[in-house]
Amino acid sequence: LQKLIHLLQATDDPLIQEQALITLSNSAAFSVNQDIIRNLDGLSVIGGMLSDCISKVKEKALNALNNLSMNIKNQEKIQVYIKEVCRNVESAPLNSDLQLAGLRLLTNMSVTNDYHQKMISSIPCFLHLLSEGTERTQIQVLKVLVNLSANPAMTRHLLRAQV
């Protein structure tokens, strides 16, 4: 895991980055690896890939963060990327794998009320995706919206959103 994280930092080759991110994502299926990746500062390395200009690299980084977000301590570190993830969802092509990867991560990050405030500005986008997206996109958006709607503090923001 340490070598993969160092490889991500050392290379500019998008194909190598994608493969390293896929491997880290698969490794994150095991809770012990989630802790190891966090302790090796892997979350910030993977999070840094969200600003990459290549959408496949961003998508793989989102998938890795999604798997890593199953851990509360990891969520505390990942939450700093929520606004960037929302921007990626908003700017991604409609129904793209990149958009779905971002929505899956937002679903996990919205299970608790802790980070809902960071998603408020994206509510109009979520509602737009609900009306314009394919069924896969709609289902993923609904998961985020259901999580947000479970928080009474979000009611006003959900009902006042301009669509």
CA angle 94, 20, 55 (to 5 degrees): 20
Quick one: what percent of the chain has pLDDT higher than 90? 97
Quick one: what percent of the chain has pLDDT higher than 70? 100
127-140 tens-digit pLDDT = 999 999 999 999 99
65-117 tens-digit pLDDT = 999 999 999 999 999 999 999 999 999 999 999 999 999 999 999 999 999 99
pLDDT for res 52: 84
Say whether pLDDT at 119 is over 90. yes
Mean pLDDT of 34-58: 96
Set out the domains of the chain in order of their start, with CATH numbers: 1-79 (1.25.10.10), 80-162 (no CATH)
| Nearest partner of 48 among 65, 35, 24, 31, judged by Cα | 65
Say whether pLDDT at 163 is over 80. no
List, in order, residues 6 or more apart from 64 with CB less than 8 Å away.
21, 22, 24, 25, 28, 46
> What φ, ψ does residue 150 adopt, rounded to 5°?
-75, -10
pLDDT for res 61: 98
- Which residue did the predictor score with more confidence, 60 or 29? 60
pTM of the model: 0.96
